[in-house]
């Protein structure tokens, strides 16, 4: 297997993008990634599109995006893994390069979720689990799924709604510093606590928004990367696992087993001590579709002991200057969650962080040269953990 580097990244403005079509939205990040790598579309040998769709008018998004972006008749494919679609697309492209099939591959994550009304989007996301058993019989929505985890976690460990809101406050703070974020306004704990309930104990400000957006990354073999850039960011490891479709078959609701397995797999490949991963990492992007998801991620990844993740955010340890900065782009909570683009945008953000190219106000100190992306599909139905490195 060949070494694979990220050599170009791009991300569109996230939000309610009624000003562009799906392929136009994709082109915003594709153009930025090409410019970043100083490449043309003729240099791209293949492309992978991450898109969930259903709420969007384009039923064959890879074909439409590829044509609009000038990438046909190259090899192109669409990938889907619920909310982890972006990471699945990156993994697909990674193996295309690592195997020797291609030297330069582009990953494009894109979603226009606001083309459908909110109830339709809520229903489609609610289908992420076992549709006929959970959605049809019990009416579980996506907030409802994570509310089960929040209530179980709070009951067992004593975390409070205020602790959950502190995750939202942190991520909105960093979102306010990110010009690409959907929400660019800081909030207070009181504002979060006073927001309406979506599924108790989760409130509006505990929840990620419905988002349109795109992100693109260009992957290259070691030989090609050295010709393209002086600052390659290497994909050190990718771990991935699946959870049960039916939540009733899970052992508990205080963490995601698939995320734990994916993390252990990635740590082993990257040579990271799973008992002390924060000693190796400068910054992390974790899947915070709801505030409880970020707290569980701290524990699933080994940043904190089981039942102590909420203490990290309570003590400010996941801000810049703390134990490990997490979601300093605003995360899904404030940057936005265009499902097919989310995992790709994590890689784009961490690449810029490692290169020290983000806004100074949210630049994490880079001393160890490693970063981690944690991307979840559904409620642990899919889990991907990707390690990036400067060496």
Architecture of domain 4-117+210-228: 3-Layer(aba) Sandwich (3.40)
8 Å CB contact between 93 and 153 = no
Share of the chain above pLDDT 90, in %: 90
pLDDT at residue 134 is higher than 80: no
Per-residue pLDDT tens digits for 32-91: 999 999 999 999 999 999 999 888 888 899 999 999 999 999 999 999 999 999 999 999
What does the buried/exposed string (b/e) look like for 257-269 if buried means 16 or more CB atoms within 10 Å of the residue's CB?
A: bbbbbbbbbbbee
Per-residue pLDDT band for 247 (boundaries 50, 70, 90) equals confident
- Exposure of 307 by Cβ count < 10 A (0-12 exposed, 13-18 middle, 19+ buried)? middle
- When the pLDDT of each residue in the chain is averaged and rounded to a whole number, the result is 96
pLDDT at residue 29 is higher than 70: yes
Task: Please tell me the pTM assigned to this model.
Answer: 0.97
Share of the chain above pLDDT 70, in %: 99
- pLDDT at residue 135, as a whole number: 66
Active site residues: 83, 337
- pLDDT at residue 130, as a whole number: 74
8 Å CB contact between 93 and 386 = no
pLDDT at residue 210 is higher than 80: yes
8 Å CB contact between 377 and 242 = no
DSSP 307-326: T-HHHHHHTTTTSTTSSS-B
Reference 108, options 75, 138, 137, 79; nearest CA is 79
pLDDT at residue 21 is higher than 90: yes
pLDDT at residue 331 is higher than 70: yes
Reference 255, options 222, 311, 301; nearest CA is 301
d(CA 99, CA 93): 10
- pLDDT at residue 137, as a whole number: 63
For 154, 173, 202, 233, 381, the CA distances from 255, given in Å and listed in that order, are: 12, 26, 17, 30, 12
d(CA 388, CA 5): 9
The total of other beta-carbon atoms located within 10 Å of residue 319's CB is: 18
């Amino acid at each position: 297997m060949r070494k694979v580097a990220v050599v170009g990244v791009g991300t569109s403005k996230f939000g309610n993008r009624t000003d562009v079509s799906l392929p136009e939205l994709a082109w915003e990040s594709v153009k930025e990634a090409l410019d970043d790598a100083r490449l043309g579309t003729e240099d791209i040998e293949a492309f992978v599109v991450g898109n969930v769709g259903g709420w969007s008018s384009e039923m064959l998004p890879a074909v439409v995006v590829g044509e609009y972006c000038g990438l046909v008749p190259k090899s192109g494919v669409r990938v889907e893994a619920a909310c982890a679609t972006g990471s699945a697309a990156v993994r697909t492209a990674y193996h295309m390069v690592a195997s020797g099939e291609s030297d330069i591959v582009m990953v494009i994550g894109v979603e226009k979720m606001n083309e459908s009304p909110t109830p339709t989007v809520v229903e489609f996301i609610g289908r992420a689990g076992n549709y006929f058993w959970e959605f049809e019989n019990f009416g579980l929505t996506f907030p409802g799924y994570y509310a089960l985890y929040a209530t179980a976690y709070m009951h067992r460990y004593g975390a409070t709604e205020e602790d959950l809101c502190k995750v939202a406050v942190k991520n909105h703070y960093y979102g306010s510093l990110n010009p690409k974020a959907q929400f660019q306004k800081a909030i207070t704990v009181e504002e979060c606590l006073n927001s309406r309930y979506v599924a108790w104990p989760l409130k509006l400000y505990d929840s990620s928004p419905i988002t349109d957006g795109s992100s693109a990354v260009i992957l290259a073999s070691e030989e090609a990367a050295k010709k393209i850039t002086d600052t390659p960011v290497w994909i050190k490891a990718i771990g991935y696992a699946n959870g049960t479709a039916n939540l009733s078959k899970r052992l508990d609701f205080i963490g995601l087993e698939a995320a734990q397995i994916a993390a252990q797999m990635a740590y082993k490949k990257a040579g990271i001590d799973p008992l002390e991963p924060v000693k190796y990492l400068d910054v992390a992007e974790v899947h915070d579709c709801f505030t409880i998801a970020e707290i569980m991620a701290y524990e699933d990844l080994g940043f904190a002991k089981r039942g102590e993740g909420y203490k990290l955010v309570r003590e400010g340890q996941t801000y810049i200057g703390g134990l490990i900065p997490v979601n300093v782009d605003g995360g899904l909570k404030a940057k936005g969650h265009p499902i097919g683009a989310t995992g790709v945008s994590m890689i784009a953000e961490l690449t810029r962080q490692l290169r020290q190219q983000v806004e100074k106000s949210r630049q994490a100190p880079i001393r160890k040269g490693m970063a981690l992306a944690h991307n979840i599909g559904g409620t642990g139905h899919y889990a991907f953990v990707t390690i990036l490195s400067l060496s």
